[in-house]
Structure 1
Amino acid sequence: MKRLYFLTVIPFIGMLGFLPFANRVEPFVLGMPFVMFWVVLWTVLTSATLAIMYKLDPRNKEDEKK
């Protein structure tokens, strides 16, 4: 159960930990500078990670039974 909460560390490391390596303007991805694409990408991945955590959390399944 507690291992599930370690998934929240992945977006934090991805967005802030690797940002110095992604801090450049070129190349352009989808018409955005790379650093802006990096932030948008991790925003979407954070939502996906939280959705996975929600589906895997056993406490959410208890509410469905009631």
Structure 2
Amino acid sequence: MRNIRYLGWLPPVGTLIGPLLHNAVHPFILGMPFVLGWIVVWLLLTTPIMALVYWLDPANRRDGDAGDRP
């Protein structure tokens, strides 16, 4: 289950690498150029992705199965 932390790399990669691959102005997303819309979408997706990583990480369980934490 440790591989769930790799999901944390998805927002930075999508935000930084995506505009390099999809550099276009004319398709608009809610009136914004595509690159700006792409960044805003990834900004909004970051919170649920990080919440999912936190929720699925066994180190954040309260029952103490993952070991003693200070």
TM range (shorter): 0.7 to 0.9
CA RMSD of aligned residues (A): 1.7
Q: Tell me which structure has the larger Cα radius of gyration.
A: 2
Report the secondary structure of 2:46's partner residue. helix
Partner of 1:31: 31
| Bigger mean CA offset, 35-44 vs 15-24 | 15-24
Q: Which residue of 2 aligns with 1:56?
A: 56
Supply the AA of the counterpart residue of 1:31. Answer: G
Count of residue pairs brought into register by the alignment: 64
Ranges in structure 1 where 5+ consecutive residues have no aligned partner: none
CA distance in 2, matches of 1:35, 1:27: 9
1:13 aligns with 2:38: no
Instruction: Give the letter aligned to residue 47 of structure 1.
Output: T
Q: Distance in 1 between matches of 2:36 and 2:17?
A: 15
Residue identity opposite 2:10 in structure 1? I
- Tell me which protein shows more helix as a share of its residues: 1
TM-score calculated relative to the size of structure 2: 0.75
TM-score, length basis structure 1: 0.79
Query: Identity percentage over the alignment?
Result: 41
Structure 2 portions without partners, runs of 5+: 65-70
In structure 2, C-alpha distance between the alignment counterparts of 1:47 and 1:41, rounded to whole Å: 11
TM-superposition CA deviations, 1:5-39 (whole Å, max 9, x none): 11111112211122112222111111111111000
